[in-house]
Amino acid sequence: MSTALAAPPRPIAAAGGDARPGLGRLTRVELRKMLDTRAGFWLQVAVVAITVVAVVILLVVGEAADQTFKVVMSLALLPAGTLLPIVGILLVTSEWSQRTGMITFALVPVRSRVLAAKLLASVVVALAALAACLATTAVAVLVADPGVDGTWSVGPAMLGQYAVYLLTAMITGVAFGALLLASAPAIVLYFALPLAWAALVSLSFFADVAPWLDAGRALAPMAEEVMSATQWARAGTALALWMALPLLIGAYRITRREVSA
């Protein structure tokens, strides 16, 4: 009589599969989520359409001095900087509002990896928006051909500031979505709270701290001029309050909050 020895089970990785999806794959999934929902898709279409319309209007009615690369680019960045953060909000809150969190976090139990993928996907979308704004601006200036001094005077420093402007706007949207985990309150708070804060710090009592804590004032020069060290310090302080702090609190909530089906 012979005894058959059962072979030990092979690990999943040895069988040719991955133990868990990589961060690159998770990022691609989050990018699909941005485009697969009607809200996300049409918001991005609206950004493109509004940008093109605004630039065309500037070419038609603007003076030659207003048709330089720097001026047109400042205008082109506004729609993306205003509307794209909503896409970032919806990317986070959809896990709860659409009740997909149970599936997402069952497949990827380490929730911090999911949040990291959402942040990376937001960075990709922001950079894609920056490329679209640069292309639209370049075509517009070529067509307008204003013929004034400094038409194309945009150096690497300004290009870097354009990137930071869109990236921080997008990440701030993700941060507010993570902070509240509900679409409507996050969108309302994202727009209403800075306005209320700006009104408060406009009082003479806050004259000294307003440039440091009002994100609107601190970040506005980023798309208009090469910023000084003091302006960068103000921008960093405002971003710590309006982007980093909500993101840290939101990350804690995502990793701790119970998910229901």
Instruction: Please give the pLDDT value at position 149.
Output: 85
Instruction: Please give the pLDDT value at position 247.
Output: 97
Contacts of 90 (CB under 8 A, 6+ apart): 37, 39, 40, 43, 177, 183
pTM of the model: 0.88
**pLDDT tens-digit series, residues 74-99:** 999 999 999 999 999 999 998 887 77
Instruction: Please report, for the chain, the start and end positions of each structural domain, with discontinuous segments joined by +.
Output: 23-256
In 98-110, where does DSSP find H-type helix?
101-107
Dig out the tokens for 93 from the structure: 């809150």
Distance, CA of 172 to CA of 153 (rounded, Å):
30
Provide the pLDDT confidence category of residue 18 given band limits of 50, 70 and 90. Answer: low
Dig out the tokens for 39 from the structure: 């809200």
Dig out the tokens for 82 from the structure: 């205003």
Q: How many CA atoms lie within 13 A of 69 on its CB side?
A: 15
Distance, CA of 127 to CA of 133 (rounded, Å):
10
CB 70 within 8 A of CB 158: yes
Distance, CA of 119 to CA of 113 (rounded, Å):
10
Amino acid identity at 163? A
